[in-house]
Each structure stands twice: as C-alpha cells, then as structure tokens.
Amino acid sequence: MFRITFAASALAVAGVAATAQPASPAASSARPPIDRGILHVQVILDKLGFGPGILDGRGGPSLVNALKGFQESRGLKVTGKPDRATLRALYPYRAARPTMTLELDREAFTGPFVNPIPEDYADQAKLERMAYTRPLEKLAERFHTTPEVLSELNPGVRQITPGTKITVPNSLPSSRAYPEDATPEWRATLASLNVEAKVPQAERIVVDKSEGVLRVEGPNGKLLGLYTATMGSARDPLPLGNWKVLHVSPNPDWKMNPKILKSVSNSKAAQLIPPGPNNPVGVVWIDLSKEHYGIHGTGEPQQIGRAQSNGCVRLTNWDAARVALMVKAGTPVVFRA
C-alpha cells in the first residue's frame, strides 16, 4: 500500500520531477511502468483542481505544472517537485486512493460508437455524432486517462464485457450536484466525465503562454486551479490581451471555416461538425470576446501541452468541463506572454 511520506526521492527518481525538456529517443521508446506513488499524487491533485493531465502514474510537464500550482496555492516554495513540504501538504488528502475496482455495467458499452472516425471534415459532417470510437475510450475519459493506461492497469484482462471487473484511476468526484439550470444532456456529460461539482467561482482566468498553463484565480489573485493547456502556434499565435467570457456552450457543434483556419486550404468547403467527445472542440466551448477564439476540450487528451492549436486554448475534456463550471458571462480572461 502506498503512503505519502516525507521522503520524496523515490517519487523524483520515478519521474515526478521531470522537466518540460523533450526526452531522448531512447528514453521515449521505453515507457516506464506505472508507479502507484506517482499515480496517488496525480489523483489527489486532479481532485483538488490542479490538473496533472492524464492519470498514468508517470511524471512529465503536466504533473510538474500541477505541483507548481498546488505549491503556489498553499504558499509553499514553488519547485514543481514532490519535496518534503509539498508531501506534507498533500498528506491530509491521502484517503483518495490511487485506484479503484469497477464492475462494468451495460451503460459502459452503450454507444453510439463511431470507428473509425473519418479524417476528412466533409465526411465528419455526415456523422450524427462525433462519438467515442469504442467502450474502452469512453471508460478512459471517464477516469481521466487513456485506453493504453487502462490496459496496463489490467494486464490479465483480455476482453471486457458487462460484469468484468477492472482497475481504474480514482477520478470519482466528491459531488455530482451540478447546476440546476444545466440541461439534462450537459449534466449527463459532466457525470460521464467524473467532473467535480463543488468548484469555486473564478474571478479571472489567466492563460500564460510562457508557462503553458491556464490559471483560475479568485479574490486578490489567489490561485484556485491550474491546468496544462495547448495554446496557439507559430501560424496562429495566441492573441495576447484582455478579453472576457461571453457564454458557455456545452456539447457544441463546430463550424470548420477554411477562411479562418490557416491550416486548411481555402479550396475546401466549410463544414458543420456534429457534437460529441471527439469533436475538434471537445465537449464544451467557452466563447470569448476575441472573435473566433475560445477555451475548449479535445478528443486527444494525450496531446495537451504537446501539439499545437489553431490559436484557441485547448484542455482535456474533463478539465475544460471543470473550468466551464467555474466561469460565467463576463468573467475576465487574460492572455499573457
């Protein structure tokens, strides 16, 4: 059984203290095994609103960012490492075990599913929904991870069916008491992603380009949450400045407009891509006063902080949904270098 102790060396060696520097080809070709100690820290941070990215029991830039955010929020020295003071501050939350056992019910296998999802936007527009490709992908998003990690956590499971018991990261929220004015569909989406309902309200959102993070701030700039984000590219840079939230659109469709997207040829026709977790903007669009820009989710959580975007701010679906609960029309949003 893993216990958070004051000896940080084992976690650091296992990769918690990894920096944002790219790994060497030799290092990236051999994935380290899942470390339950690291997974425990990830699970606690995830529950507290400091998104470590995918719950995978491994270190990396997203976990470093989450540790920095937690340290700042607690008035600790900001190191991005699981040092003695940080482990002491995490200790009260140790009851949040790193994994849990789940017996799959029929709902886990209820679609629709679309496999494969076509690459061409014109073909995507013909779909009824940009749905999950398979039950394993649906389960992975529910537990803030990937199908690959679920497979690693369950080496003896060759096939999943209703009644199968599997081990999953413990992403369960403390509450699913979502806003009463939310639509039934949005409430179902939030529940399916294990999004925490008891979240503080943001006084300001800060998107920090140099740090690669989205900060949720409260009174006097107090840090309430922090998430690694993908923001802009050389071709579509982040529009620095002061903006505000106009509205939140749950389960949005997305208009692919070649006149706006520099990565798409102008010879292509505009397309309306249907809603779904694999929609290019994910499960939610937080519309901003900067025209054509927003904060949104993605169907590829493993790419957050690694791939580029079309200028917008992209989070994992579960983090984007949590941020959506913390903002409202008029919430200030700052894009800074």
Note the pTM of the prediction, 2 decimals: 0.90
Q: Structurally, how many domains does the chain consist of?
A: 3
Which CATH number is 314's domain given? 2.40.440.10
Tell whether 156 is covered by a domain: yes
Tell whether 2 is covered by a domain: no
Q: Given a cut of 90, is residue 266 above it in pLDDT?
A: no
Tell whether 230 is covered by a domain: yes
Q: Residues 272, 327: one domain?
A: yes
Token pair for residue 121? 């936007």
Q: Residues 117, 227: one domain?
A: no
Tell whether 114 is covered by a domain: yes
Which CATH number is 52's domain given? 1.10.101.10
- Rg of the chain's alpha carbons, rounded to an integer? 19
Spatial distance between the Cα atoms of 77 and 87, rounded to a whole number of angstroms: 12
Q: Residues 331, 218: one domain?
A: yes
Tell whether 197 is covered by a domain: no
> What residues are paired with 63 via a beta bridge?
none
Mean pLDDT of 218-237: 90
- End of a domain among 42, 70, 93? 93
Tell whether 329 is covered by a domain: yes
Using the Cα atoms of residue 243, residue 247, residue 249 and residue 255 in order, give the sign of their dihedral.
Answer: negative
Q: Residues 213, 135: one domain?
A: no
Token pair for residue 276? 């779904």
Q: 263 vs 133, which has greater pLDDT?
A: 133
Token pair for residue 301? 């959580």
Token pair for residue 45? 């941070």
**Which residue range forms the structural domain that includes residue 19?**
9-93
Tell whether 189 is covered by a domain: no
Query: C-alpha distances in angstroms, 203 versus 42, 65, 222, 238, 304?
Result: 26, 21, 9, 21, 25
Interval 40-73: pLDDT, tens: 999 999 999 999 999 999 989 999 999 999 999 9
Q: Residues 226, 300: one domain?
A: yes
Q: Residues 149, 238: one domain?
A: no
- End of a domain among 36, 70, 93? 93
pLDDT at 180 (0 to 100): 95
Closest CA to 4 of 33, 32, 42: 42
pLDDT at 6 (0 to 100): 29
327 contacts 203 by C-beta, under 8 angstroms: no
Tell whether 294 is covered by a domain: yes
Spatial distance between the Cα atoms of 204 and 326, rounded to a whole number of angstroms: 10
Q: Residues 22, 123: one domain?
A: no
Q: 212 vs 309, which has greater pLDDT?
A: 212
Q: Residues 274, 209: one domain?
A: yes
- End of a domain among 59, 93, 127? 93
Q: Given a cut of 70, is residue 14 above it in pLDDT?
A: no
Q: Residues 209, 332: one domain?
A: yes
